[in-house]
């Protein structure tokens, strides 16, 4: 719980008669909660009705939306949804305590920085963990893994295990390709729950800064995911995939090995990507094809 004046000060607005009013946990616009904070970012025919009937006290609203006099506190912004997220993080989000649970196993050669949280029954091998990292419960982090500052690894994830590296000889005997690379995860990366990121065969598998990965994602050996890419749930990367900056990959997508995806590309939900995707392209389908604009 916070107070109204703190939110007003955040937006550099003048204090009002509600200065000592406490603000409850933020809520959706309808039905809203008494003395809570909500937002509206899209205009429709029901906006005025929503504002007058919601129980919320403060509403972040787009500057493009015109509203007559209202008893609510309306804060007009360029992007109310983004500002709403910032307010949630600053004033209302649960803060993890910097605790390493006694049930964890941490290798003596692991390098741990300050302010780290490690959940119950997690394993950390000969890895290097940056500052302010959060590691959930039942996480396995193998040797030769590096995790940058302010990153988060969700519960049940496995980082740095050997990938599927097998070869057939002429007589069809199967031999193993040993993995001697590692995994390097940058700063401000979010890896969701129950993910698997395999170590590289010779070089590192790399997840660059500010990448966000949803739950149940598999990233095979030698993949490189560049900055600010968003990967939604259930995506499968085969080996040696390279992904550019600012890419969006839809739920349930499967990407063939050695495929390259250019900067700013968008991959639609459930796609099977078997060919390279050029910069700024939008592709979807089985197999994925470029959408004609």
pLDDT digit string, tens, across residues 54-66: 989 889 998 888 8
H runs (alpha helix) in 65-151: 80-87
Last residue of a domain, one of 92, 121, 146: 92
Show which of 92, 125, 153 is a domain's final residue: 92
In a domain, 97, yes or no: no
Question: Does 20 score more than 80 pLDDT?
Answer: no
Residue 70 has what pLDDT? Answer: 78
The sign of the dihedral angle between the CA atoms of 79, 80, 85, 90 is: positive
Q: Which pLDDT tens digit goes with each residue over 70-96?
A: 788 888 899 999 999 999 888 888 777
Based on the fold, state whether residues 158 and 75 are members of the same structural domain: no
- Whichever domain contains 133, its CATH number is 2.160.10.10
Using CB atoms within 10 A of its CB, is residue 168 exposed (0-12), middle (13-18) or buried (19+)?
A: exposed
Are 70 and 113 part of one and the same domain?
no
Name beta bridge partners: 277. 261
Range of the domain at 158: 105-290
Q: Is a pLDDT exceeding 90 seen at residue 227?
A: yes
- In tens, the pLDDT along 110-143 reads 999 999 999 999 999 999 999 999 999 999 999 9
**Whether residue 48 is found in the same domain as residue 175:** no
Do 223 and 284 have their domain in common? yes
Domains held by the chain: number: 2
pLDDT at 69 over 90: no
Residue 16 is predicted with a pLDDT of: 60
Shared domain for 60 and 153, answered yes or no, is: no
- Per the annotation, the verdict on 221 as an active-site residue is yes
**Among the three residues 36, 59, 92, which one is the final residue of a domain in this structure?**
92
Mean pLDDT in residue range 143-166: 96
Same domain, 67 and 134: no
Q: Give the containing element (helix H, strand E) for 18.
A: none
Residue 215 sits in the same domain as residue 276: yes
Same domain, 274 and 179: yes
Pairing of strands 158-161, 140-141: parallel
Tokens encoding 257: 């090995």
**How many residues are present in the chain?**
293
Q: Report whether pLDDT(179) > 80.
A: yes
In a domain, 178, yes or no: yes
The per-residue pLDDT for 282 is 97
pLDDT at 251: 98
Q: Does residue 35 belong to any structural domain of this protein?
A: yes
Task: Return the pLDDT at 97.
Answer: 75
Does residue 293 carry a pLDDT above 80? no
Same domain for 31 and 80, yes or no, is yes
- Alpha-carbon distance of 79 to 102, in angstroms, equals 43
Q: In this structure, is residue 169 part of a structural domain?
A: yes
Least trusted range by pLDDT, from 16-25, 31-40, 224-233 = 16-25
Report which of residues 68 and 167 the model is more confident about. 167
Residue 64 sits in the same domain as residue 189? no
What mean pLDDT is predicted for residues 8-21? 74
Active-site residue, selected from the candidate residues 142, 179, 218, 221: 221
**What's the mean pLDDT in 43-63?**
87
C-alpha 252/C-alpha 268 separation (Å) is: 9
| 52 occurs within a structural domain | yes
pLDDT in tens, 185-210: 999 999 999 999 999 999 999 999 99
Q: 34 vs 107, which has greater pLDDT?
A: 107
Is position 99 within any domain?
Answer: no
Residue 141 and residue 26 share a domain = no
- Do 231 and 125 lie in a common domain? yes
Q: Kindly tell me if the per-residue pLDDT of 18 is higher than 70.
A: no
DSSP state of 263: T
As a whole number, the mean pLDDT across the chain is 92
């Amino acid at each position: 719980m916070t107070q109204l004046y703190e939110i007003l000060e955040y937006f550099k607005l003048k204090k009002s008669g509600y200065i000592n009013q406490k603000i409850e946990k933020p809520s959706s616009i309808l039905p809203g909660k008494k003395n809570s904070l909500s937002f509206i970012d899209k205009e429709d025919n029901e906006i005025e009705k929503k504002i007058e009937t919601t129980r919320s006290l403060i509403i972040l609203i787009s500057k493009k939306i015109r509203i007559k006099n209202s008893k609510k506190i309306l804060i007009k912004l360029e992007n109310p949804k983004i500002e709403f997220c910032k307010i949630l993080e600053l004033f209302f989000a649960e803060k993890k305590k910097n605790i390493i649970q006694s049930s964890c196993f941490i290798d003596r050669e692991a390098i741990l920085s300050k302010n780290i949280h490690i959940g119950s029954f997690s394993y950390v091998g000969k890895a290097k963990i940056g500052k302010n990292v959060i590691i959930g419960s039942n996480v396995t982090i193998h040797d030769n893994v590096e995790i940058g500052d302010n990153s988060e690894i969700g519960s049940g994830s496995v980082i740095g295990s050997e990938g599927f590296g097998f070869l057939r000889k002429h007589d069809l005997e199967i031999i193993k390709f040993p993995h001697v690379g590692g995994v390097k995860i940058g700063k401000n990366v979010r890896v969701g729950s129950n993910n698997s990121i395999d170590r590289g065969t010779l070089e590192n598998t790399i997840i660059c800064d500010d990448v966000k990965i949803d739950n149940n994602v598999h990233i095979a050996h030698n993949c490189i995911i560049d900055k600010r890419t968003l990967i939604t749930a259930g995506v499968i990367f085969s080996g040696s995939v390279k992904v550019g900056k600012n890419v969006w990959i839809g739920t349930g997508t499967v990407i063939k090995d050695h495929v390259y995806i250019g900067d700013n590309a968008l991959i639609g939900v459930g796609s099977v990507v078997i060919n390279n995707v050029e910069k700024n392209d939008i592709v979807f389908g089985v197999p994925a094809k470029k959408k004609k604009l």
